[in-house]
Amino acid sequence: MTEIPEHLLKRSRERRAASGVGGDDGGAATPATTTPATAASTTPAATAGPVERAAAPAPAGPPPAKPDSAVVAAYKSRRRIPFWAMVALAALPVWAFLYARAITQSPVQAAGPLGIGTEVYGGCASCHGADGGGGVGYQFSEGEVLKTFPHIEDQLRFVYFGSAEYNIAGVQIYGNPDREGGAHVTGVKGAMPAQGPTAGGSLTDAEILGVVCHERFDLGGADPTGAYADEYTEWCSEGSEIFADLEGGGQLATLHERFDGILPIGDVPVAGSAATS
């Protein structure tokens, strides 16, 4: 800093005293110019570090969840089925099946002539009905077959030869001529195909007896313990000697030669027999 000469200072004091502004004390007043006025303003501020960047505003949170409807709220508040109960419920069908099997008796499988006849009748059902109710062929059920054939031998003969052989032989009535409701005449309703092996059929003599027994006792309503007990025992029971004979190779045509008390079936069609009292 440059020092101001004394005579300049003195002159300055004199002027100040004349103008009544300053005093005449011997102290040296430091003029304002001794220190630059702009010193403070020109002095740079203390150097600061990098200006801090303002933090970004925090992202807005997710919108509040939509409240559940009454139905959904009720579902969520409902008590859940325990795991062990789910296992028990899943096993119920198995238990039901086992229970049903335990209390249901297996159906009795027919043996002997009736057992074979039940299987063979499947080929007859299309004409006479699965339950013997009739159709193209005559009805068996409700005793109708017993009215037509009071003797089993006449039915066996007709099934063996069929209606065509009866027509050729000129036999019109193949069953009971005194039948209630009128005798059945050959060829009036459908055509009965021959079933016997010597007449061009595909059944054995034992199978023919079996299907006739099924038509009479299972479908026709013959009582094996009543009026038809003797017929059942002799022809259609499991212990039937006639059935055993046919299974062993015997023929229907010659049964009367080996068993007493039966009507000859023969090897040609003949007229049916009337019922005996």
The rounded Cα 75 to chain-centroid distance in angstroms is 30
Look at residue 236 in the predicted model and tell me its pLDDT: 97
Task: Give the pLDDT band (50/70/90) at residue 253.
Answer: very high
End-to-end CA distance of the chain: 171
Q: What are the tens digits of pLDDT across the range 129-147? A: 999 999 999 999 999 999 9
The answer, yes or no, to whether residue 33 has pLDDT greater than 60, is no
Which residues have a Cβ under 8 Å from the Cβ of 189 and sit 6 or more positions away?
136, 137, 138
pTM of structure: 0.62
Tell me how far apart the alpha carbons of residues 164 and 57 are, in angstroms, rounded to a whole number: 108
Tell me how far apart the alpha carbons of residues 156 and 260 are, in angstroms, rounded to a whole number: 17
List the one residue out of 172, 167, 170, 174 whose CA is nearest residue 145: 174
> Could you give the dihedral angle defined by the CA atoms of residues 83, 84, 89 and 90, in that order, rounded to the nearest 10 degrees?
70
Q: Which residue has the higher pLDDT, 104 or 66?
A: 66
Tell me how far apart the alpha carbons of residues 216 and 159 are, in angstroms, rounded to a whole number: 13
Looking at residues 36-41, what average pLDDT do you find?
Answer: 46
Look at residue 238 in the predicted model and tell me its pLDDT: 96
Q: How high does pLDDT run on average in the chain?
A: 83
Look at residue 210 in the predicted model and tell me its pLDDT: 98
Q: What are the tens digits of pLDDT across the range 188-247? A: 888 999 999 999 999 999 999 999 999 999 999 999 999 999 999 999 999 999 999 999
The answer, yes or no, to whether residue 29 has pLDDT greater than 60, is no
Decide: residue 217, CB within 10 A, 0-12 exposed, 13-18 middle, 19+ buried.
buried
Task: Give the pLDDT band (50/70/90) at residue 2.
Answer: low
**Angle value at C-alpha 108, between 103 and 112, nearest 5 degrees:** 170
Task: Give the pLDDT band (50/70/90) at residue 3.
Answer: low
Domains of the chain plus CATH, in order, are 112-258 (1.10.760)
List the one residue out of 163, 161, 168, 142 whose CA is nearest residue 208: 161
Tokens of 128: 């006479």
